[in-house]
A and B are shown apart, each in its own frame.
Chain A
Amino acid sequence: MSEKKAKKAQVATRKSGISRRSFVKGVGAAGAVTAAAAVTACTPAWDDQTMQDAFGSFFQDQYKRMTPEEIEEALARIERKAKRRFGVDIKCEDTPPIPGVVFGYALNISKCKGYRDCVYACVKENNLGRDSQIQYIRVLEMDKNTRNLENSEHYYDPEEVPREGKYYMPVQCMQCDNPPCVTACPVEATWKEPDGIVVIDYDWCIGCRMCMSACPYWARHFNWTTPEVPAEEINPVTNYLGNRPRDKGVTEKCHFCTQRTRKGRLPACAEACPNGARIFGNLLDPDSEIRYVLENKSVFRLKEDLGTEPKFWYFAD
């Protein structure tokens, strides 16, 4: 059902793609003078870009509708902007999904000790705003006798974890197979990729936060202010749909570290976990560890009753 929707949308955009582009160019030429005046007049609102780059970003198309050349230009703009903003040379790539791969995650809650190493590794890997304190993963401290989220402790901070009588349940984007956030977005700034990862085009998002209301897992976060990262802490290895530096006013969330996983590496959170609680892999590969878990453990998913079909499972030994 959702695949049909996606296909339909793709066909529709392809149809209008070329004519739209020439239309935008026309508008661009006509509005160039006024826009240029506006750009020079209010530089701060344009995020410290040069006029040419601000102009290029403004008319940048949605990721899926860009030609390979346009994507190259966009990536170069992102790198230039990072240089200006942080004084750091970053590399921003376009990493396509690997054919024949659909990613899934399984988390062993009996091994999770609540250290939050995954949270911190994620913050570093994905260039999350340090002052804005966005974190893609939230570890919930739960009473052992319940799975009621309403009783969870979000800000546990004892001398030592794990605490007596508690267990720990990390929550992040579930990369739903039927993602309500994608349906809610009015401009298709977020969509499900062929490898099952729900991604966001940060340059297309208008910041209306419909997706945040729609998400049942509190996975989506908004940049209420420009996310600042100290220059020396910037991860310079970035990609377009993943961990490149973001601006204020747009939504972001966990993307299973597309910049790593689409090159055969593990997500930062899986690598960081000292307890081996996190199992990540290709759901389509029958010999993968994740398939072993799904076939041999009794697993559960959060809020399955909402029909979201998460690709994130929990299990206990």
Chain B
Amino acid sequence: MQLYRFMLDVVGDLFRGPGRYWAWIALLVALTIQGVFFYVHQLQTGLVVTGMSDQVSWGFYISNFAFFVGIAAAAVLLVVPAYIFDRKDVKQVVLLGEALAVAAVLVAMTFALVDIGRPERFWHAIPYIGIFNFPYSLLAWDILVLGGYLLLNLATAFYVLFKHYRDREPQSKLFFGFVVIAMFWAISIHTVTAFIFSSNPSRSMWHTSLLAPRFIASAFASGPALIIITLSVIRKSTLYQISQGVIDTLALIMTIAMQINLFFVGAELFTDFYNEGAHGASVRYLFFGLEGVGKLQPWIWSALLMNVVALTILMIHPLRRNPKALIIACVLGFLGIWIEKGMGLIVPGFIPTTLGEVFEYFPTGTEFAVGIGIWSLGMLVFTLLAKIIISVELGHLRFNKPEPGRIEG
């Protein structure tokens, strides 16, 4: 009965909003639909409409997949202070963090799905009815941990929200257990994603034990960056109170993670370039080009520049505490890491090929269009989830209020 009422209230709430809410939703829906349109074209013609080839067999899609798994994992940075250290100010936003994780996992999964040549055969990977090559295949691991993480975040966020809806606080030991599991699970999703790449000894650029730590470090930099941007937007555009303490904590975490990440990148560069051998060929291609070609050079150098500028802003305390400078640092850090661990890591891993051929890759318009569609889908999912969360937390959506109030702004 209560659950039924909750569902009705939620649906009702999603249909109430000011004009700019509807404009934003309409924009995201339109962008998602154009993505679907391009994806259907890709399905009919084959992946030949992308820039990928036998030489570079993963590109823009898998780069985004790896990056957004990291964003999803970063939600743990809110879960831990909120539920383990019981910080009241973080508790106010932890549900938004979990909603972001849900949206990011969906984005990552969709990017993996559009990369697959035979998506209609996906049931082959479902245990029991298909064949699940577990524990050997790392993709099998990834399906398991990503699916589990999605469920964990949906379950814990829904539980808390439903409690709040009925004016109660979550207290059960079971819930705490779930939070602890989610904490370790977050690290596992990004570790397994890194292992997909680092488990290939013939791809020397990926085949480093530093890859998983590097993934975690860059996730804990890019994740808070996105969360800070999102929270700032929410603070501006809704009545929801977000305490400055949360932003400060996230900014500090981001600063440290950026430092560690850049240190890792530097350590990799040293190993690749001092006594440069076959191991360094991919990195040489990435930064300086190889055999006269190097389309990724402008990308990686701008990524490096963006990361350094972002870190500089973050490390100067007055600048970090300045809201405008902080947002600039977040945008730069987010984009810089998106390039560095996305296209800057996945693509050069294939160049040169295992037979020493240098063959370039660059995403096509179709890949960008499908990508924009998937990002929009993610933002749409987050917007809807955030709308429900804010309505409940502001007290507009309550079981004991027969007529749910209207949220303004």
Q: Give A contacts to B, CB under 8 Å.
A: 5, 9, 13, 16, 20, 23-24, 27, 44-45, 58, 62, 65, 132, 134, 138, 140, 148-152, 154, 171, 180, 183-189, 204-210, 212-218, 220-226, 248-251, 303, 306
Contacts and interface: CB of A to CB of B under 8 A. Distances in A.
B200 A214 contact: yes
B291 to A, nearest CB: 10
Contacts of A183: 133, 136-137
B124 A138 contact: no
Interface stretch (B258-266, B305-313, B351-359): B351-359
A187 B52 contact: no
Contacts, number: 157
16 contacts: A45-B44, A62-B124, A150-B278, A186-B132, A188-B131, A205-B117, A206-B116, A206-B122, A209-B57, A209-B117, A210-B137, A213-B58, A215-B202, A216-B201, A217-B355, A249-B118
Contacts of A9: 133
B129 to A, nearest CB: 6
A184 B138 contact: yes
B172 interface: no
Complex A-B, nearest 4 residue pairs according to Cβ-Cβ distance, in ascending order: A207-B117, A249-B117, A216-B202, A149-B356
Contacts of B55: 218
Contacts of B120: 58
A212 B118 contact: no
B98 interface: no
Given A187-B132, A224-B53, A226-B46, A206 B124 contact: yes
A122 B122 CA distance: 31
Contacts of A44: 44
B327 interface: no
A220 B112 CA distance: 20
Contacts of B196: 210
A171 to B, nearest CB: 6
B407 interface: no
B133 A185 contact: yes
- Kindly name the residue among B45, B124, B196 whose own CB sees the greatest number of chain A CB atoms within 10 A: B124
Contacts of B335: none
Specify the main secondary structure of chain B where it touches its partner: loop
Contacts of B200: 180, 213-214
Contacts of B133: 9, 183, 185-188
Contact of A206 (B118, B352, B354): B118
A189 B124 contact: yes
A225 B281 CA distance: 30
Given A216-B202, A248-B46, A207 B354 contact: no
B48 A224 contact: yes
A27 B123 CA distance: 12
Nearest to B202: A216
Contacts of A207: 47, 116-118, 121
Nearest to B357: A154
Contact of B128 (A23, A187, A222, A303): A23
Interface string B172-207: 000000000000000000000000110111110000
Given A207-B116, A215-B202, A154 B355 contact: yes
B46 A224 contact: yes
Nearest to A214: B200
Contact of A212 (B54, B131, B139, B355): B54
Interface of B: 43-48, 50, 52-55, 57-58, 112, 115-122, 124-125, 128-133, 136-140, 143, 196-197, 199-203, 278, 281, 349-350, 352-357
A213 B136 contact: no
Contacts of A58: 120
Given A186-B139, A215-B202, A250 B118 contact: yes
A203 B169 CA distance: 52
A103 B375 CA distance: 49
B117 A222 contact: yes
Contacts of A213: 57-58, 197, 200, 203, 349-350
A218 to B, nearest CB: 5
- Kindly name the residue among B121, B131, B197, B352 whose own CB sees the greatest number of chain A CB atoms within 10 A: B131
A225 B137 contact: no
B136 A138 contact: no
Contacts of B125: 186-187, 206
A188 B127 CA distance: 12
A45 B349 CA distance: 32
Contacts of B139: 184, 186, 208, 210
- Kindly name the residue among A209, A216, A225, A226 whose own CB sees the greatest number of chain B CB atoms within 10 A: A209
Given A216-B202, A250-B118, 20 more contacts: A62-B124, A62-B131, A138-B355, A149-B354, A149-B356, A184-B139, A184-B199, A187-B125, A187-B137, A188-B133, A204-B121, A205-B118, A206-B125, A210-B139, A214-B200, A224-B46, A225-B47, A225-B48, A249-B47, A249-B117
Contacts of A204: 121, 124, 131
A11 to B, nearest CB: 13
Given A150-B278, A216-B202, A248-B117, A222 B57 contact: yes
Contacts of B352: 150
A240 to B, nearest CB: 17
Contacts of B112: 208
B355 A152 contact: yes
Given A206-B121, A224-B47, A148 B58 contact: no
A250 B117 contact: yes
B128 A217 contact: no
A172 to B, nearest CB: 11
Given A210-B137, A249-B46, A250-B118, A221 B54 contact: yes
A188 B130 CA distance: 10
Contact of A27 (B129, B137, B143): B129
Given A183-B137, A209-B57, A171 B355 contact: yes
B354 to A, nearest CB: 5
Contacts of A221: 54
A134 B136 CA distance: 29
A259 B359 CA distance: 33
Contacts of B199: 184, 214
A21 to B, nearest CB: 10
A9 B197 CA distance: 24
